[in-house]
Amino acid sequence: MKIRVEDLRERLQGAEERPTEAAAYVLRHAAKGDPKSVLESLDDFAVNHGFLMNLGPEKAPLLEATLRSLGLRLRVLELGCYCGYSAIAMARNFEGEGRLISLEKSALSVAAASEIIDHAGLADRVEIVHGDSGESLARLEGEFDLVFLDHWKGLYRRDLETIEARGLLRPGSVVFADNVGPVFGAEEYLEYVRGCGRFESRNEVSTIEYTDIEDAVEISIYRGPRGA
């Protein structure tokens, strides 16, 4: 069932606490070791039982296509794990040494996502780090091929600047930012990533997960430090 923009605020109430219910639903209904079945169960839960702040089936193919364009043995960083939906969508494409590190502040989400990712058979490819994104980023080292931003929208610019300062990007790395459409107030981030001179950026219009409400993602290729 699609929801209207005037209903979205009401549906979002309680969404932060819903991953536990979603995990129980997945464990009951999804085939163990089958990432596709797990994603379908999360979609079913979100549509028929309780709204989830997932990437959703409309935008997941775009993220996966972006990932595959970079190769299959990648090092990926995710900010905002929630139920583990996007981590599963990405990690199921990995081969060999492909790995994903996901930063998540909510202990409830960490517990639920860990169960869901394990049920999908991808626990060996995904590491969830519990804590504030700024503090967790300060401890990371090495370069990432793709960074997926899907946490608090007001932190997108701050955390991207930290990622750059920490040397976590290489020329050609992609930053994929979800929920930058008109509802989310992502203007500060968009102004930065489009205007700082270090990214080649494009906007893809879509819809907010499980709704008909306009949304967008911003896909930005890192050129390297200015003047490099």
Predicted confidence at residue 105, as pLDDT, reads 97
- Domain range for 76: 5-222
Closest Cα partner for 181 from 56, 47, 41? 56
Does the annotation mark 179 as catalytic? Answer: yes
Is 90 within the bounds of a domain?
yes
Does the annotation mark 32 as catalytic? Answer: no
Is 228 within the bounds of a domain?
no
Pairing between strand 99-104 and 126-130? parallel
Q: Does the pLDDT value for residue 12 go beyond 60? A: yes
Q: Which long-range contacts (CB under 8 A, 24 or more apart) does 193-197 make?
A: 193/157, 193/160, 193/218, 193/220, 196/226, 197/223, 197/226
Find the length of the chain: 228
Provide the percentage of residues in the chain whose pLDDT is more than 70: 94
CA distance 162 to 199: 15
The token pair that represents 213 in the structure block: 């409400």
Is 82 within the bounds of a domain?
yes
Per-residue pLDDT, averaged over 25-45, amounts to 98
Is 227 within the bounds of a domain?
no
| Among 78, 145, 159, 209, the one annotated catalytic | 209
| Among 153, 159, 215, 218, the one annotated catalytic | 153
CA distance 184 to 201: 19
Does the annotation mark 209 as catalytic? Answer: yes
- pLDDT by residue (tens digit) across 210-227? 998 999 999 999 999 874
CA distance 137 to 221: 20
Number of domains in the chain: 1
Predicted confidence at residue 227, as pLDDT, reads 42
Per-residue pLDDT, averaged over 67-91, amounts to 96
Does the annotation mark 203 as catalytic? Answer: no
Predicted confidence at residue 205, as pLDDT, reads 96
Is 14 within the bounds of a domain?
yes
| Among 150, 159, 215, 218, the one annotated catalytic | 150
179: left (phi over 0), alpha (psi -120 to 50) or beta: left
Contacts of 169 (CB under 8 A, 6+ apart): 143, 144, 147, 163, 175, 222
Contacts of 116 (CB under 8 A, 6+ apart): 22, 23, 26, 38, 42, 83, 84, 88
The residue with greater pLDDT, 158 or 71, is: 158
Predicted confidence at residue 72, as pLDDT, reads 84
| Among 105, 179, 215, 218, the one annotated catalytic | 179
| Among 43, 78, 145, 178, the one annotated catalytic | 178
Which CATH number goes with the domain that contains 205? Answer: 3.40.50.150
Pairing between strand 169-177 and 144-149? parallel
Band of pLDDT at residue 144, cut at 50, 70 and 90: very high
Is 166 within the bounds of a domain?
yes
Three-state secondary structure call for residue 6? helix
DSSP code for 31: P
Does the annotation mark 153 as catalytic? Answer: yes
Is 198 within the bounds of a domain?
yes
CA distance 217 to 149: 10
Per-residue pLDDT, averaged over 178-206, amounts to 96
70-84: b or e for each residue (b if 16 or more CB lie within 10 Å)?
eeeebbbbbbbbbbb
